[in-house]
Structure 1
Amino acid sequence: MIHRQETPEAVYIHIPFCTNKCHYCDFNSYVLKGQPVMDYLDALEREMEHTARLAPPGQIKTIFVGGGTPTVLLPDQMASFLQRVRTYFPLTAADLEFSMEANPGTTDKEKLLAMKKGGVNRISFGVQSFDNSLLAGIGRIHNTDDVYRSIDNAKSVGFDNMSIDLMFGLPNQTVEMMNDTLDKALALGLPHYSIYSLKVEENTLFHTLYQKNQLPLPDEDDELDMFLLIMKRLKAAGYDQYEISNFAKPGFESRHNSMYWLNRSYYGLGAGAHGYMYGQRHVNIKGVQPYIDATRAGLPLLEQYEISEREAMEDFMMVGLRLLNGVKRSDFHKQFGVELETVFGSVLLKLLDKGLLQRTADGYSLTEQGVLLGNDVFGEFLSPVSN
């Protein structure tokens, strides 16, 4: 498999600190107050050094800094962090995409300048909604004024490649409220929008409320109507739905996330980060202090395991079909040395018969109905669990 030889061209780095924990969030994140931020950045540097020595990077094409909220770092901390990244993962590619997640209200001009000077050239703002009552209801501490101010600040220091995340299916959200949010979001004229449905995850406040029947979610019909509205509005505004939840103007697709969807290898650094290198996936230790301590002895691994050829093939199909262009036979053959239909012929025929997949010039993609039932499609490629 190509994954056993491929040196990653993508880097994910996790900053686990945030101003507060949102009610829906199950990410590995911790409230900033009292956290050893500089000790964590020192630990990150140790992990970068260990990683770069064991798996020397070639030319890096994408870097993504997520969290948590990376932009809770102070300007001097941000500058220090980005200098360390450049030391171990040189920013030499002419078309490098260097993205950072940001929360509205945490990006003043001084911090944005530190980000830009440090090599960041793309910002993804976690907006979620343009309805202040909904924002309060999901535990966000920003309001719509913060969104406008943050985007204006970013533009003023020279950022033009920006994205915002929105959510639908939120408690008490109506189709009309979603439409109003889309009005305001599209009025910004940004090159990229990510729009996800709420998932009630375990170990969140929302899960606790859901278990008590105290979470007023929209019904399935309204949630479907929201998704249909989103696709209609974004298409009419000139955005290509290149992935189930992502919309972009031509040339502004997220190239880092596309590495995941194309099942490519990537470095994963930081507390709780996931990585995929040389046919092995790993997960790092999650706690901040345990992570810091572990880096003093070597790589801060919680677990590491080899991906079998069959698992890699299943992953290829499940993540690749999220892209609206679908999967290519040629890519499958390049990665695995066998024909796509030889491995998944019966599943493909079944999904073609159901009208959930369609043939393309070099493979298969979701139909319009398949986009709406994506999880059902992806599940078909999983091997049955044996007892």
Structure 2
Amino acid sequence: MTRLADRLRAGAYQAYAYAYPHKTAYRDLPAPVDLAALWAGEDRDNLFAYLHVPFCTYRCGFCNLFALGRPADGLVEAYVAQLERQLAVVGDALGTHRVVRFAIGGGTPSYLAPAQLARVFDAAQRHLNVDVAHVPAGIEVSPETATRDRLAVCRDAGIDRVSMGVQSFVDAELASLVRPAQRDEVVRAIGDIRALRFPTLNLDLIYGIPGQSAASLVDSIGSALAFAPEELYLYPLYVRAKTGLGRLEERRGAATDTRGALYAVARDALLGAGYTQVSMRMFRAPHAPAQDGPAYCCQNDGMVGVGCGARSYTRTLHYSDHYGVARASVSQILERYVGAPATSFAQARYGYALDADEQRRRYVIQSLLTWPGLDEHAYRMRFGGTAPDDLPQLAELFELDLARRDGGVVALTPEGMAHADTIGPWLVSNAVQERMDAYAAA
């Protein structure tokens, strides 16, 4: 196991550990797994339902999500129809259950026409028994597709959180991201979001863009704060293989890494504006609604993903459809999805089985990388031991003053949180890392 100190010398930005194991560690399962039998052994009282819509108006240069820009109209309609069929099959497989969180992401779900969005919400309610109006429920949108009619369908369905990727308010920086300038569309979309009284608006910004300075980043933050978003996410730019920016970097070489300095400037600006930092990326405003929906714990409770590109999580198995980034591979996977018989959705065929060690690692990663941190009592109740005993490498966090223990909670220090994208990858198991490396090399 590589020491964290050695990792830190290699740089603070190594990978975003938003899910563990990462999807690039998934492989074809030895045999299909029956979903009804799998979920029968799970606690289904507090589930997160996630629907995936893998379409966008255009593909941003930095994007490595499973998404397709400018899809044919026929493909979009076929996808929605197949999503409805999959919802029916998955709902039957779950049996008696309760959904306490709901999200529809992508891609850009607002790419769907209003009538298609309405069909998706109706199918989710009928087949997953999800009452969108009475659980925390979010949707991801882009400025040009967040039209008043689409937003109205979402609000009528009960969506209470809209997340929009702005990335920058500087036209030259957007051009560097291979993304069109959209200030007028952003202003119009936010006006509609506010007029329809969505309780939570989240705006995403990116730092580390070629040509971006501390001053221009602060200006973009100021422009975002003028809209008083309840949440704001700061994403460091990662230039990944198979993306548009990745291909550009291969030709022109990597630029100087300014992300660490820009993160500090941006974090301080948001803290100075009264926002509370939740993770390396997430900041919440003082006026954000209280998070008082039904209980859900991402470390313990399951996720049901529906749609090509969605992941599902149980305690022992994470599964999904196949993963791709390049347009050809995404198109091929989507073609298989829309052409599959509905009965195929009753089984999992691609994923990662989590043994006891992987379950503990996932719990620690999911807990440590957000504040308030890792609750030692909750960990003991789940696993019967202590995290420092189960993962001795955690001791180095304390040695480097990147974490502290307070009142039974192990939490990253501010300096530790600034290095979350090093700490997360450092906690990855050798088995998962080997699979991820093999995927990257393929």
Common topology (TM > 0.5): yes
Check conservation: 2:369, 2:420, Cα contact below 8 A.
yes
Q: Structure 2, unaligned stretches of length 5 or more? A: 1-38, 324-332, 435-442
Q: How far 1:384 sits from its partner (Å)?
A: 4.2
- Residues 165-206 of structure 1: per-residue CA shift (max 9 Å, x gap): 111001221111101101111111111001110111111111
**Counterpart for residue 320 of structure 1:** 367
2:307 alignment counterpart: 270
* Equivalent residue for 2:149, pick from 98, 110, 113: 110
Q: Taking structure 1 as reference, are residues 383 and 3 closer, same or farther at Cα in structure 2, changes over 3 Å only?
A: farther
How far apart in 2 are the matches of 1:144 and 1:255?
Answer: 33
Give secondary structure in 2 for the equivalent of 1:297.
helix
In the alignment, the residues of structure 1 paired with residue 264 and residue 298 of structure 2 have an alpha-carbon distance, to the nearest angstrom, of 23
**2:266 maps to what in 1?**
230
Corresponding residue for residue 342 of structure 1: 389
- Tell whether 2:137 aligns with 1:98: yes
The residue type equivalent to 1:156 in the other structure is A
- Cα deviations by residue, 1:312-353 (Å, 9 ceiling, x for unpaired): 111111221111211111221222222323312x32322211
Indicate the SS of the match to 1:46: helix
Moved more, 172-181 or 302-311: 302-311
Q: For 2:84, what is the secondary structure of its paired residue?
A: helix
- Say which of 185, 209, 216 aligns to 1:170: 209
Corresponding position of 2:380: 333
| Structure 2 equivalent of residue 197 of structure 1 | 236
Q: Report which stretch shifted further, 330-339 or 233-242.
A: 330-339
Is contact 1:261-1:322 (8 Å) kept? no
Q: Which residue of 2 aligns with 1:12?
A: 50
Q: 1:39 aligns with which of 69, 72, 78?
A: 78
CA distance in 2, matches of 1:82, 1:28: 21
Q: 1:308 aligns with which of 347, 355, 364?
A: 355
Percent identical pairs in the alignment equals 23
Q: 5+ residue gaps in structure 1?
A: none
> SS at 1:316's partner residue?
helix
- C-alpha distance in structure 2 between counterparts of 1:3 and 1:192, whole Å: 36
For 2:397, the equivalent position in structure 1 comes to 351
CA contact (8 A) 2:89 2:342 kept: no
Q: Which has the higher contact order (CA 8 A, sep 6+)?
A: 2
Give the length in aligned residue pairs: 381
* Alignment TM-score, normalising by the size of structure 1: 0.91
Larger mean CA deviation between 94-103 and 162-171 belongs to 94-103
> Under a length normalisation based on structure 2, what TM-score does the superposition of the two structures give?
0.80
Label 1:351 to 1:165 Cα distance change in 2 as closer, same or farther (>3 A): same
1:80-95 equivalent positions in 2, closer than 5 A: 80-92=119-131, 95=134
Give 1:381 shift.
3.0
Q: Deviations over 1:27-59 (max 9, x none)?
A: 111123414222111111121111111113522
> What letter corresponds to residue 109 of structure 1 in structure 2?
R
Runs (4+) of structure 1 exceeding 6 A deviation are 253-256
Distance 1:129 1:23 in 2: 14
**Contact 2:199–2:289 (Cα < 8 Å) also in 1:** no
Give the C-alpha shift of residue 301 in structure 1: 4.5
